[in-house]
Structure 1
Amino acid sequence: MGDIDELLASMHLPKENEIQRIQSEHRLRLARLWEVEQGERILEIGCGQGDMTAALAYCVGPDGFVWGIDCASENYGEPETLGAARARLLSGPFAGRLWMDFDFDLARDFIRLRGEEFDRIVLSHSLWYMDSYETVSEISKICRLIGKKLSIAEWNPFAAKPEQTAHALAAFLQAVCGCFAPLEEANIRTIFVPDEIAEIVRFAGWRVERKGILSSQQLQDGMWEKENACELCPRMIERAQCMPDKLRRMLRAGICELEKMPAQAPLDVYWLSAC
């Protein structure tokens, strides 16, 4: 059995689940780029439904442990809620090497981590969910107090190929609309470019060891974010009370253009490792 088949089986998911196979393969690639080792004790911030949590648990082996936290409630998420995803993962062989806590705000609930120390802290595709630059900066500083290494992965918002344009436009539309009328179900609240991420990390006292760009062109996220933008952005524009009329018109024009675009490929992913 190959790594990905073994991981999917441990997640109680059929190996024929092509969407999950692609998502999990991407996360295994990230873990290898970060050089995650067996026996590590890891804190994952923004664990969501546990795709990265499970990949990390697979990599750390039976002697390691992964603690995933997320500020969303266990009832958030569809078609599978965060709570249901946790129950599924804990019903398999990863039960002894991972845990997931929800309604956990790192800045607010830091006292729960007092005395804890982690070999690595991971933020994988979770920065864009954050509400501000300042929030990510504060989280990076907190991580410095309790972690030996910091591993980050996030979309690079600039399309390197024409096929990635729809994903890029969908992300920017959601982020701008969210500045005026945020929706809880929106995936994108703040966009960070690679240089900003590296700057935040360094300012928090970390030293960037390695960084790079990962292309995972089979990922379905570009299509999903196009759908999200076309559904959510008109609602946010309608709700926005302080949005200038000129910006409102430009955003609506952007949505019209996005609807015409095929979401052929996702954006590339920027990753870094720091210590």
Structure 2
Amino acid sequence: MSEPASLSPSLASRAPSASIHTSPLLPHAQDTQTLHRFALLTTWFPSGVPPGTRILELGCGQGDTTAALAHFVGPTGHITALDPAPLDYGAPMTLGEAQSLLSKGVYGDRITWVRAEVIDWLDALGEEAELFDAVVLAHSIWYMAGRGVLGQIFEALRGKTRRVCVAEWALRASLPAQLPHVFAALARGALEAQRVGSEENIQSPLAPVVIKGLAEASGWRVGRESVITPVEGMQDGKWEVGTVRAEVFAGDAERDVSDGRVREVVLSLRTAMMGALGAMGDEEIRSMDVWVADFV
């Protein structure tokens, strides 16, 4: 695995053309999200995306990665973007609002939106379906209900695609300012493991070694893997730290975690996050490193 690499500033000029929206509340957040997605794509496809490429994206959400993919595949390519979440989920724009905006934009005819459970939809394709050139899971694995779900997805993808491209938080900090995000993610994951019916962003913070093991157990082989440091300005770390720092998090832990020892682990992870914050201001918090890999 290579050492962390910062995202290339040369991508910045290309980000606005594939941004899904500009929020008056977060005027620069979308550009950094798009820039990050461009960095993922150039890592997966260092020689570019061939014309006519067909990509299936699993866990597309509001379409941050979808827009970048549609930009890269060009007018002859196509993206099938699937997510099981209801269209009224998400903020500052819901899935429905963001997807509708993209459909009306310059890339609208390159995208097909699908709302369905992943395994059910893949199984319904049948053995005669044309292979996708690639399947992308970009920051969608941690939303899943556990390693069992991801293992089933890797199994279901056999015979459906030539390669699987994965990007997920690495649980790794190459900079001190990233440590609070790491602890926040672990604290959130520990709490959500004790709750039923939660819609939090982090359900199962699976480490890269676990994801790789599940893929290999289903017959996939790692092609390339690397770790990148997200561009400064990525808001994810700040958002997650904010939700764990809030007093409501401690209250949820006290109420929802019945096992006293597990509760102390959850609260201790929150304490560790607060310690990592120290005197750091909110503007200094950085999102943790990202693991980027492809499987063939």
CA contact (8 A) 1:182 1:236 kept: no
Q: Which residue is equivalent to 1:6?
A: 17
- Output the CA distance in 2 between the equivalents of 1:211 and 1:154: 11
Deviations 1:36-72 (A, max 9, x none): 5132100000000000000000000010000111121
Task: State the match for 1:97 in structure 2.
Answer: 110
| 2:118 paired with 1:106 | yes
1:181 touches 1:237 (CA, 8 Å); kept in 2? no
Whether the 8 Å CA contact 1:69–1:101 is kept in 2: the answer is yes
How do residues 44-193 of structure 1 correspond to structure 2 at under 5 angstroms?
44-102=57-115, 104-114=116-126, 115-182=129-196, 184-193=198-207
Give the distance between the partners of 1:87 and 1:20, measured in 2 at CA: 17
Task: Tell me whether 158-167 or 38-47 shows the greater mean CA deviation.
Answer: 158-167
Distance 1:205 1:257, change over 3 A: closer
How far apart, CA to CA, are the structure 2 residues paired with 1:12 and 1:78? 12
Q: Which moved more, 1:16-25 or 1:256-265?
A: 256-265
Q: What secondary structure is seen at the aligned counterpart in 2 of 1:75? A: coil
In 2, Cα distance between the equivalents of 1:241 and 1:124?
30
Q: Aligned AA for 2:258? A: C
How many residue pairs are counted as aligned between the two chains? 270
Q: C-alpha root-mean-square deviation of aligned residues, in Å?
A: 2.2
| In structure 2, distance between residues paired with 1:250 and 1:207 | 35
- What is aligned with 1:28? 38
Letter in 2 for 1:203: A
1:227 to 215, 236, 242: 242
TM-score of the two chains, using structure 2 as the length reference? 0.84
Shift of 1:220: 1.4
User: What stretches of structure 1 of length at least 5 have no aligned partner?
Assistant: none
User: In structure 2, how many angstroms separate the alpha carbons of the residues matched to 1:81 and 1:100?
Assistant: 14
When structure 1 is superposed on structure 2, of 253-262 and 34-43 the one drifting more is 253-262
**Aligned match of 1:237:** 253
Query: Is the 1:178–1:236 contact (alpha carbons within 8 Å) kept by the matching residues of 2?
Result: no
User: Which structure exhibits the higher relative contact order, with contacts defined as CA atoms closer than 8 Å and separated by 6 or more residues?
Assistant: 2
Q: 1:198 aligns with which of 205, 212, 223?
A: 212
1:121-144 alpha-carbon deviations (Å, 9 max, x no partner): 000001111111111011011112
Q: Name which of structure 1's ranges 77-86 and 30-39 shifts more when overlaid on structure 2.
A: 30-39
How far off is 1:240 after superposition?
Answer: 2.1
| Structure 1 residue identity aligned to 2:91 | E
Where do 5+ consecutive residues of structure 2 fail to align? 1-11
* CA deviation map 1:248-275 (0-9, x unaligned): 2343344345346246211100011121
Corresponding residue for residue 9 of structure 2: none
What is the TM-score of this pair, normalised by structure 1?
A: 0.90
Q: Which amino acid aligns with 1:268?
A: D
Which amino acid is the alignment partner of residue 249 of structure 1?
E
Alpha-carbon spacing, 1:250–1:106, altered in 2? closer, same or farther (3 Å): closer
